[in-house]
């Protein structure tokens, strides 16, 4: 456990950081603002885990911490321990749930009160997806799925493989047998954490996006949770050594993703061909004279 943990909160918004720029401070300030608006200062804490020294941002965070009553946990690994170990260290925060958030992700305005309320009233849920859902599902409220991993990843359109897309109960992550992961230490651990819980836990898909991404110009970008499939989650299914009883689940996931990727490739080829033909027409008509 980190030495600067004060008490156990309901939720920790945890940010793994490596060579992050100014965006990190914007992310933390946005979280602080949303916590104050939601009036959940005693329920939500913030953790920033530096994967290597970052004296500039750490000094700024130390100053921010002295100016707020909200718990801010700062952890610094003196050397780069790799993404996987830094990610796992996020869950050693003393809270019940952890929301891993990228150092260039901003939580959506007004989302935090709904998330906290949901957790308080559904503390049996182990995985909470907050990164968008399958287009056309028209969710009006969070959907809870008990021991139904396949339905969970389908409804999330496989976006549940994204690091910031899923809030996870700490006890689940801390109970994972890391010996099952063939690709441990290879930047896959956040996907492995999702896939390891198949059909063992209680899942929930939130009816709203919980965060947006920031690009280098600090502009808001719409998180593409509803439209794009996460092929990384498909690949992550191979991280865990599957037993015979898991074969059918694996095969169904493969079939679903194969169909989605195949259709996407066809669409891309058609779009490329149309664009190419149009471009060729313009060049011949107006430029090649």
Q: What is the mean pLDDT of residues 105-131?
A: 92
Question: Per-residue pLDDT tens for 210-230?
Answer: 888 765 333 333 333 334 445
Over pLDDT 90: what percentage of the chain? Answer: 30
Q: How confident is the model at residue 3 (pLDDT cuts 50, 70, 90)?
A: very low
pLDDT at 189: 73
Q: Does residue 7 carry a pLDDT above 90? A: no
Q: How far apart are CA 116 and CA 95, in angstroms?
A: 13
Dig out the tokens for 25 from the structure: 């401070």
pLDDT at 190: 73
Phi, psi (5° rounding) for residue 276? -65, -45
Please name which of 46, 206, 39 lies closest in space to residue 127, comparing C-alpha atoms.
Answer: 206
The pTM of the full predicted model, rounded to 2 decimals, is 0.77
Q: Does residue 115 carry a pLDDT above 90? A: yes
Question: Per-residue pLDDT tens for 126-137?
Answer: 999 998 766 666
Question: Per-residue pLDDT tens for 225-257?
Answer: 334 445 555 555 544 455 544 555 556 656 665
Q: What is the mean pLDDT of residues 162-175?
A: 89
């Amino acid at each position: 456990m980190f030495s600067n943990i004060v008490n156990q909160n309901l939720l920790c918004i945890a940010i793994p950081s490596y060579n992050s720029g100014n965006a990190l401070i914007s992310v933390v300030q946005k979280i602080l603002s949303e916590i104050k608006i939601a009036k959940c200062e005693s329920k939500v804490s913030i953790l920033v885990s530096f994967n290597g020294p970052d004296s500039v941002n750490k000094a700024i965070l130390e100053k921010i911490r002295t100016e707020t009553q909200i718990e801010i946990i700062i952890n610094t690994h003196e050397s780069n321990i790799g993404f996987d170990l830094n990610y796992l260290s996020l869950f050693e925060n003393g809270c019940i749930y952890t929301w891993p958030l990228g150092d260039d992700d901003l939580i959506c305005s007004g989302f935090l009160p709904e998330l906290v309320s949901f957790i308080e009233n559904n503390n049996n849920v182990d995985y909470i997806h907050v990164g968008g859902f399958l287009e056309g599902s028209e969710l009006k409220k969070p959907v809870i799925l008990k021991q139904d991993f396949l339905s969970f990843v389908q409804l999330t359109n496989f976006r549940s493989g994204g690091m910031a897309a899923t809030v996870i109960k700490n006890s689940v992550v801390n109970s994972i047998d890391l010996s099952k992961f063939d690709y441990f230490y290879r930047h896959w651990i956040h996907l492995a954490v999702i896939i390891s819980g198949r059909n063992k836990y209680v899942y929930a898909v939130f009816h709203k996006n919980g965060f947006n991404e920031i690009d280098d110009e600090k502009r808001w970008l719409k998180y593409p949770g509803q439209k794009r499939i996460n092929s990384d989650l498909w690949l992550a299914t191979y991280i865990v050594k599957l037993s015979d009883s898991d074969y059918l689940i694996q095969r169904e996931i493969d079939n679903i993703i194969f169909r989605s990727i195949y259709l996407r490739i066809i669409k891309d080829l058609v779009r490329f061909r149309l664009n190419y033909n149009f471009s060729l027409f313009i060049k011949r008509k107006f430029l090649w004279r």
